[in-house]
Amino acid sequence: MSTVILGGGIIGLSTAYYLSLARASSSPAKTIHIIDSSPALLASASGFAGGFLAADWFSPPVASLGALSFRLHRELAEKHNGPRRWGYAGSHTYNLSVDERVAAKKSTATDRKGDWLREGTSRAEAAGSSNPDAGGRDSTGGGGAGGEMLNPDGSPAVWTPQPGGTLETISGPESCAQIEPRELCEFLLDECKKRGVQVHLSTKATGILTDDDGSLKGIKLQSTSNADDVDTRELECKDILISAGAWTPRVFKTLFPESKLQIPIEPLAGHSIVVKSPRYNTPFVDAAKRNIGGGSDNWLCYSIYCAPGRHWSYAMEAFARLARNGEAEIWLGGLNDSSLPLPELASDVKAMIDPESIKSLRKTTVQLTGLAKEGDEVNQDDLETVREGLCFRPVSQRGTPVIGKIPEHFLGLRPGEGGVWIASGHGPWGISLSLGTGFVMGEMISGEKPSADIRGLLIA
């Protein structure tokens, strides 16, 4: 019997990838189906995320999964040339702190009170200062030997020195990395298709099928490409995985309208921008020559986190990262909006991009990476826009992902050979936790013991 995965983002693709590996020599009847309601994949979080990976930035319930996933990311990159194919590289990670007293002395006449602090924190606080590869202040981050441009203080020139600003190293390339998420997803999708995974776009699940005993037998599907097309087709399956990101609660309610179970996941919208800089047109090189991720180029990325400050009113995060074949770019985000309503389809997100939010991100990007001018003049915007994005991340109310099997008594079903599963609620850690989540979901669906301790992540 088949397995149906509802949602073709990075969690669904990772699950299909590892499940198809395990079934490579199995009967063709054990087909894997990816169902997605949009006409194209990767229209939301999986296509526009920053791509930061961490090994040990997680709370105790997530720590085992986080460590497994980080290891799998590195192993996959080593096996399939991840540095060249999806920009995998170790990352030096900094916390940028700005002494407002020093910065105020160098403020320009255009500064306004609206630029001052508001409530919010930086994700970098999760790392603490206990990472074994984190030193004190380390401006060069191991760089400088690869021919990259440097600031007078020795820091990478991709980051414009901030008045009163200090870069504090909080992690290094042994425990942090970067990828270009869309290109990893495209690799996973291609590999899945090679092994017979079937992808159904513009298709939504509308109900389930049960046998005479009340056990799960299949799923009902309907096209989303034509509002007048109400024909429903049926697909027999043994297992259903709901991994629809921010749309997961909506999908669950459609399939099980009578269930009293509340999926504790909410959507959080976030804008982002990707640019190219004249000061970051070739990849940085790791002077330690550690070949992290299997690449012979020894490429290195840089990540910066910063709390709200005078120049940005949100917890900004920026990544000097790579794309395919070492193409260098800068991703910046952190401007979130919990009030933006979740659209019907992920493909509807693009039309919801807010020009004012992009304008704010652009201003921050120029302040952080633009060409510094003499004196107190505003940085010059010499950056080339690659793309602007908006995505909805699935944030769980308890602060951890929701992973595992949904007990049948919540669904009104009788226990059978398979079941209904969930993998969502990863919040800002969906890319980092993706491969580990897909790996353990594949194990559990196959009836095996998971390789990570996910007891604290179960739905019930």
CA pair distance 387, 405, nearest whole angstrom: 38
Please state, in angstroms and rounded to a whole number, the distance separating the CA atoms of residues 44 and 47: 6
pTM value is 0.90
C-alpha to C-alpha distance for 244 and 12, rounded to whole angstroms: 8
413, HSE (Cβ side, Cα atoms, 13 Å):
26
Structure tokens at 196: 């017979």
CB-CB neighbours of 30 under 10 Å: 16
Pairing of strands 265-276, 328-337: antiparallel
How many CA atoms within 13 Å lie on the side-chain side of 352? 20
Which residues, in sequence order, are bridge partners of residue 53?
A: 177
> Residue type at 72?
L
All structural domains of the chain, each given as residue ranges with its CATH number in brackets, are: 2-46+183-264+398-446 (3.50.50.60), 84-101+116-176+267-396 (no CATH)
How would you write the pLDDT of the chain (460 residues) with one tens digit per residue? Answer: 899 999 999 999 999 999 999 886 555 557 999 999 999 999 999 999 999 999 999 999 999 999 999 999 999 999 999 999 999 999 999 999 987 654 444 433 333 222 211 233 455 555 554 444 443 333 344 344 445 678 887 788 999 998 888 899 999 999 999 999 999 999 999 999 999 999 999 999 999 999 999 999 999 999 998 766 677 899 999 999 999 999 999 999 999 999 999 999 999 999 999 999 999 999 999 888 888 998 889 999 999 999 998 889 999 999 999 999 999 999 999 999 999 999 999 999 999 999 999 999 999 999 999 998 876 678 999 999 999 999 999 999 999 999 999 999 999 999 999 999 999 999 999 999 999 999 999 999 999 999 999 999 999 8
Q: Cβ neighbours of residue 167 under 8 Å, at least 6 residues apart?
A: 94, 95, 96, 137, 138, 139, 155, 159, 304
d(CA 321, CA 178): 6
